[in-house]
Structure formats: C-alpha cells, structure tokens
Amino acid sequence: MAAVQRYTWDGLPIAPEQPHGAAVMVRRPAAADVHEYLILHRAHHGREYAGDWAWTPPSGSRQPGESVLGSALRELAEESGLSAVAADLAALDLGGPWVRFRLDVPAGAQARLDHEHDAFEWLPAAEAIARCHPDAVADGIRMAEAAMSVHIAFRPLAQADLPALLEWQSAPHAARWFPERLDLAAAERKYGPRIARRSPTKVHVAVVDGRDVGFLQHYRVGDYPDYAAATGLPDAIGLDYAIGLPELTNRGLGPQLIWAYLRDIALCAHPAARQAQAGPDIANYASIRALEKAGFQRARQVAIPGEPGPEQLCVLDLDRFFGERGAAAQ
C-alpha cells in the first residue's frame, strides 16, 4: 500500500519521517520560583478547534526538507512573534513524532497573534496543563516544569580536573560504567594526551550554573579503527558523557547537556559529519534514555574489542536535526 501524504490544517505537507514537528514551551518568571507558560488558541478558519488541540504551546509541523531545529525556531517566530537562536533552546525530549524544547524569556515578555490563532494567555503550569488537550500536548509543559533550568557551559579538561574526574567516575551511580578504576597516575597517562590535544579525543568539563558537574568527550569514530569497524560509521562523531554528581541525575539534565555539547562543541569540531553516535552499555538504561531524549535512535547492539560487554549503538541524524552546519552556530 502506498504511503498516504498527510497535511497540516492549512495545506502544508507533513514531513513523512519522524519527528513530524516541534513544540516550544515558552515560559517567563511570574514570581519567585514560579513561571507562567505561553499557550495559544487556534482560530477556527473553517475547522472546529473547540475541543482537543484548541490550546497549545507554539508548535507546528516540519516543512519538506526542513531541519528539526529550523522548524522549532520558525514556528516559534511565526506563532508567537518571539525570536530565538539555537543556543536559547533547551532540549526536553527530542524523541518520538513531536519534539519538545523549552525557552525561557524575561519577565514581561510579550507575544503577538498570527493568522492561525485568535487568543493567547500566559498561565501558571497547572492552569496551562489543564487547558491543553490531549495529554500529549500538556506533557510538554509537564516536562518543562520537571526538568532543571540551568546555564550550561563547557571548558577543555585540564590537569587540575583529574581528581574531580576520578571522583565522578567512582560515584555510586557511575562506577559500574567505569570499570578501569584508575588512580591519579593512570588517569594522567590516559587523559594527558587528550589534555595536551595529542589525542583524537577531546574532553570537556560540563559547567552547570558555574559548578563543574561532569564531563563529555567527542572524537571522529574513524580515528579508532576497531570501533569504526564494529559500528560501521567511521565519519560519525563519537560521543561519551557522564554526570558525576548523583543529586543531578534523573532531573532532565542529561538531554540538555548532550544536545548543548553537540550544538556548541562537537559540530564545530566536525563540520562534515552527518551522524553522531554513542554506545552506552546495554544495561545503562538511564544513559540510553537520555540519548533518546536528545534525539538519538537505538540502532543495534555492537561488540567492541576490549570492552567488557556489548554496547547499545545510538545514532543521531545531524542533517535532520541541525540542517546546514551554519544553523547550529547561530
């Protein structure tokens, strides 16, 4: 049976591949530790929007050939009049047919109506959730409330960071995934070339709200022939990461770190790459789920020479999410 082309309400064809579209949870401060969210009411325009889908955050379908990031920024501008750049968007959940980003705007920020909508409101989370139907629409606001809202930065790993790196790798939630049990001398042997930039692998410290919280690293997969042979993606960006502080796990920080690192660091270092890949242990469910929320898809399990067990290969289509490399650096 031939695939059926699906269209938006105003006649634009929906991209056949997932994700179909993007939604941006826009929020502004209302009081101390309280935010209010922007939701829009669909104008009728010959269709009945009084039931489900009447109220939504700024959202819409991807146009043919459009990147996920590009569609999110375009829909945000078209539907709310608010402008943003890639660095303003925090990743909430980029898996599934509709991706969700969060955008924090200053107190007093205002929206404007477009031709698709006849009303908008700024509401506290509970009221905005109650107004949005079905639950899939309201889920984005729930995610925005639950995930940490932080300022993320990265800096190259330095020699002075090695004691902290060892602490992160030996933390109770992480130690299982770092079986080497390095001491400081071994860490200096392993990471010294990376710090001196004599290794294909580049390591960065993740800095969240001014606090060092973990590390990420990137490399061209083909620079490690055994790994490239096992994964079959020699030109992909290889990515590894770890949040070293237990109190910051399971709070939505992982997808934000992964997405920001790809956008701000790895893509700039590998502008010709078309995929990014990561390979957590098949039992590391938390890491796999964080990667999925950052847009990666599970590919297959692979056996890596020298590693204790099989890895779950997760792959991100960089063209689909970021489009032209210039879009990622805006």
Is residue 92 within 8 A of residue 140, CB to CB? The reply is yes
Q: Are strands 275-278 and 237-243 parallel, antiparallel or unpaired?
A: parallel
Query: Same domain for 251 and 194?
Result: yes
Is residue 183 within 8 A of residue 165, CB to CB? The reply is no
Q: For the CA atoms of 73, 54, 35, 129, what is the dihedral angle to 10 degrees?
A: -120
pTM: 0.90
Own/partner pairs, 27-34, CB within 8 angstroms, 24+ separation: 27/102, 27/103, 27/104, 27/105, 27/144, 28/104, 28/105, 28/106, 28/107, 28/108, 28/109, 28/122, 29/106, 29/107, 30/107, 30/122, 30/124, 34/124
Query: Same domain for 102 and 231?
Result: no
Q: Report how many domains make up the chain.
A: 2
Six token digits for residue 10: 């105003």
166 lies in which domain range?
152-328
Say which residues have a Cβ less than 8 Å from residue 291's Cβ, sequence separation at least 6.
258, 278, 280, 314
At residue 102, the pLDDT reads 97
Query: Same domain for 317 and 199?
Result: yes
Query: Same domain for 142 and 224?
Result: no
Query: Same domain for 141 and 179?
Result: no
At residue 45, the pLDDT reads 53
Under DSSP, the state recorded for 118 is: E
**Residue-by-residue pLDDT tens, the chain, 330 positions:** 333 444 444 444 544 567 889 999 999 999 888 999 999 998 875 455 555 678 999 999 999 889 999 999 999 999 999 999 999 999 999 998 999 999 999 999 999 999 889 999 999 999 999 999 889 899 999 999 999 999 999 999 999 999 999 999 999 999 999 999 999 999 999 999 999 999 999 999 999 999 999 999 999 999 999 999 999 999 999 999 999 999 999 999 999 999 999 999 999 999 999 999 999 999 999 999 999 999 999 999 998 877 777 999 999 999 999 986 544 444
Residue 16 lies inside a defined structural domain of this protein: no
Q: Which residues pair with 156 in a beta bridge?
A: 204
Query: Same domain for 91 and 231?
Result: no
CATH code, domain carrying 136: 3.90.79.10
